[in-house]
Amino acid sequence: MKKIALIAVAAAFAIVGSQAQAAGDVAAGQKSATQKCATCHDMTSKKQNKVGPYLWGISGAALGKVEGFKYSENHLKAGGEIKAWDDANLDKYLEAPAKVIPNNKMAFAGLKDAAERANVIEFLKTLK
């Protein structure tokens, strides 16, 4: 009987753990984004363009539409294929920006860790 209870507890933890990873952890994402994106991107409601466009409201937004930001030509061209910054497109782009949009202006190698990307993407959703 005890053994069954233990297995049930372990299974419950496994489910909670996998859900947390799939959905991303906002606090961890905020930490990563503050360390790795904030030099170039304003992530506050002040909506200021820096080296890169502000990221307030970027989750779900169309590509290349931040007001007042001068995007590279190649970034704007990519708008033909990438219709919106949904989770899947953000995931691909943030893993390897230069691979998804060659010769774009974002001088950032990418986030190689899938869990870290999921966290950052979850954090970006809160910027609204």
Residues that bind ligand HEC (CB under 6 A): 33, 36-37, 39-41, 51-53, 55, 58, 63-66, 71-72, 75, 85, 94, 104-108, 111, 120
Is the Cβ of residue 8 or residue 113 nearer to ligand HEC in the bound state?
Answer: 113
Is the Cβ of residue 64 or residue 96 nearer to ligand HEC in the bound state?
Answer: 64
Is the Cβ of residue 11 or residue 70 nearer to ligand HEC in the bound state?
Answer: 70
Distance of closest approach, residue 1 Cβ to ligand HEC, in angstroms: 49
Q: Is the dihedral of CA 43, 44, 50, 52 positive or negative?
A: positive
Distance of closest approach, residue 19 Cβ to ligand HEC, in angstroms: 23
Q: Are 47 and 56 in contact (CB under 8 A)?
A: yes
First to last CA, the chain: 49
Distance of closest approach, residue 31 Cβ to ligand HEC, in angstroms: 11
Q: Is the dihedral of CA 40, 74, 70, 26 positive or negative?
A: negative
Q: Is the dihedral of CA 72, 75, 80, 84 positive or negative?
A: negative
